[in-house]
Structure 1
């Protein structure tokens, strides 16, 4: 196991530059940090000697010999990344530079309880390690995302509304039975925000990621880092009230945007429209399958069904109303929309945009861009891996 405590600040700064850029030439790496070229070259030589960085190919020539590209060493070990959703689990093994070694995704029911879910997670990790002949001791760090509020320092869930019974379960202790590597736990939307941040190479400093699925949450990147708040509950926007006369939410309050525009609410509106005879297409789908999903609604909307379009626009409008308040407060440069419900179609995104721009202050939206999460299918596990790298390799001793 690598001893990260003996890294100098300069060495850690170089590792961080390589991580966020994906790789640099020796000259570009030395020039990218705020200390002398000679000190940078000494630190680079030290990192190469300890096999923490390696040469990973050549850059295009600008005249003369093509420079060697330096990157985080694949030989130092691997990272385990786990993304738990309300209805699925994603597990991956990653190299330190976020190269995907293996990735498995499958359906899961979090209501079955944390012990059963994490027994499956451990089995998947074990199968992937055996497939690639990677010993448990080669795992450098483990990142875990869960769909609920997390006290980051302890890694424990706190009153998770979608995960009854999980708050007494220690994810760290469970994984420690098999791995000596440190385990870091955060809520799934913070993980998605970190994955998006890395995909964009850290170029955006202030943005939001909204995950719309069984619940609605927000990951906040503020000044280039995840903002979690005092107790880890920052970004719990699903319980912002958008209609005081709206339906009762599972949190006990009325009119929360999650109760009106998350996946279950959208499915209920679609089924109500089908039963009321407002849509022959939705009625046909309901009769055939017994239930309707947000994806059924999205397919009907793409087919031009008027009732489906009205539901999609209404749900997008509610989410936009909530986001307008957040935009006025935070003034982000970008909002990225992700989660399963985001796939219902372009009308949903258009409705969110229209509502945000209509209700936000002109100054707050002058440079605002609202779009889908880039490469959303792997944002969760990449984000869990980014968290593991940041907390294991790049954090100073005072943060561990």
Structure 2
């Protein structure tokens, strides 16, 4: 008979990795006899196994317990430019993965669904996952639907969850950030749209309708550029990847960057990768666009700091690859405009550039669904 204790054990092992029995008993506050009964049940079901020997604390070294190697999750991080497919161990470490470059390809739902399905089979091998997670950003609805339906068909009966990429990023950052700043932070994802996720007291906020964090269509200037939503002056119309490329292209046409002018003349258009590469080489156009990005985004982030009082603000997504080009201006603007008592000690950092946080967060959501469904 399954108990709530078994589900809690799996959550701890998912989040903390291998643990000794003493550590588990201390965290759960239960007698060893009660703990051992649940551990035996989970072991018999193939959900957990012995892990590595714990570091010595002066006495006999203890064997740890971990989620079994067969209880892995298959995750996909899907955006307009890239599809990342990975398999993660139960304690949320990446075991294997592949990346599918979509930059130069028109959206093709059937092709992408089949490509992702095959990639999933390649990284999994002969095993079925315990659960499947999909993090989604900036894609056409038909693309997302095709990919999810393909995975559901291939892994029929397995728990499957989809989550916005910024929330997956926040879940991954919460695991990666350690004890300092892990429970109270704001994640900002910069891509085709600007989205945010707020973790308060260790809990991810979703909002009354489940759509919190859609700040890209927050109007920041009354008479700004036209936005895809039909309004003008939205945040997206200034700092989304498409807006930044448009700003850079206009400056290039004015003769501000011979290097980018050559690319524009040859290809007929620029993309975000061109800006990232040119920025690393010190291009003046990219430097100006990045400074403007940092200052404009900083004004919005300062308001978020005033509202939620986080310990950290972490910036991710494709545009974050511009990195230090905008981070200094972003920090300076946030520290200048946020209430001083809330800005004191605040960290403003970049997420990892490989998108690992989104993969880890998608796996965390998938494993949560598995635990909730079975325990």
TM-score by length of 1: 0.85
- Work out which of the residue numbers 43, 46, 70 in structure 2 matches 1:48: 43
Paired residues, number = 372
Tell me if structure 1 keeps the 8 A contact 2:135–2:163: yes
Tell me if structure 2 keeps the 8 A contact 1:52–1:72: yes
Cα 1:146–1:254, aligned 2, differ >3 Å: closer, same or farther?
Answer: same
Which residue number corresponds to residue 140 of structure 1? Answer: 130
Tell me if structure 1 keeps the 8 A contact 2:217–2:234: yes
Bigger drift between 105-114 and 32-41 goes to 105-114
Q: CA offsets per residue over residues 335-376 of structure 1, 9 Å max, x none?
A: 111111111131311111112122211122123211011464
Tell me if structure 1 keeps the 8 A contact 2:75–2:86: yes
SS at match of 1:177: helix
Tell me if structure 2 keeps the 8 A contact 1:30–1:41: no
SS at match of 1:217: strand
Deviation of the 1:166 alpha carbon:
5.8
C-alpha distance in structure 2 between counterparts of 1:100 and 1:309, whole Å = 34
C-alpha distance in structure 1 between counterparts of 2:188 and 2:58, whole Å = 45
- Work out which of the residue numbers 11, 15, 18 in structure 1 matches 2:6: 11
Q: Does 1:80 align with 2:74?
A: yes
C-alpha distance in structure 1 between counterparts of 2:126 and 2:102, whole Å = 26
Cα 1:395–1:351, aligned 2, differ >3 Å: closer, same or farther?
Answer: farther
Q: CA offsets per residue over residues 122-166 of structure 1, 9 Å max, x none?
A: 12212333xx322xxx32111111116xxxxxxxxxxxxx52556
Cα 1:170–1:266, aligned 2, differ >3 Å: closer, same or farther?
Answer: closer
Q: Does 1:316 align with 2:306?
A: no
Which residue number corresponds to residue 199 of structure 1? Answer: 176
Tell me if structure 2 keeps the 8 A contact 1:20–1:202: no
Which residue number corresponds to residue 224 of structure 1? Answer: 202
Q: CA offsets per residue over residues 240-267 of structure 1, 9 Å max, x none?
A: 1221111111011111111111111111
Which residue number corresponds to residue 122 of structure 2? Answer: 127
Gaps of 5+ in 1: 1-5, 149-161
Tell me if structure 2 keeps the 8 A contact 1:79–1:140: yes
C-alpha distance in structure 2 between counterparts of 1:171 and 1:295, whole Å = 25
Bigger drift between 95-104 and 208-217 goes to 95-104
Which residue number corresponds to residue 35 of structure 1? Answer: 30
Q: Does 1:178 align with 2:154?
A: yes
Cα 1:37–1:375, aligned 2, differ >3 Å: closer, same or farther?
Answer: farther
Bigger drift between 292-301 and 31-40 goes to 292-301
Tell me if structure 1 keeps the 8 A contact 2:159–2:373: no
Bigger drift between 47-56 and 250-259 goes to 47-56
Which protein has greater RCO, CA pairs closer than 8 Å, 6+ apart?
2
Which residue number corresponds to residue 103 of structure 1? Answer: 97
Q: Does 1:331 align with 2:313?
A: no
C-alpha distance in structure 2 between counterparts of 1:118 and 1:365, whole Å = 44
Deviation of the 1:53 alpha carbon:
1.6
C-alpha distance in structure 2 between counterparts of 1:173 and 1:277, whole Å = 48
C-alpha distance in structure 2 between counterparts of 1:10 and 1:295, whole Å = 48
C-alpha distance in structure 2 between counterparts of 1:238 and 1:172, whole Å = 25
C-alpha distance in structure 2 between counterparts of 1:21 and 1:48, whole Å = 18
Deviation of the 1:60 alpha carbon:
1.8
Cα 1:177–1:217, aligned 2, differ >3 Å: closer, same or farther?
Answer: same
Deviation of the 1:116 alpha carbon:
3.7
Cα 1:118–1:231, aligned 2, differ >3 Å: closer, same or farther?
Answer: farther
SS at match of 1:328: helix
C-alpha distance in structure 2 between counterparts of 1:164 and 1:392, whole Å = 25
Give the alignment's Cα RMSD to 1 decimal: 2.4
Deviation of the 1:50 alpha carbon:
2.9
C-alpha distance in structure 2 between counterparts of 1:230 and 1:117, whole Å = 33
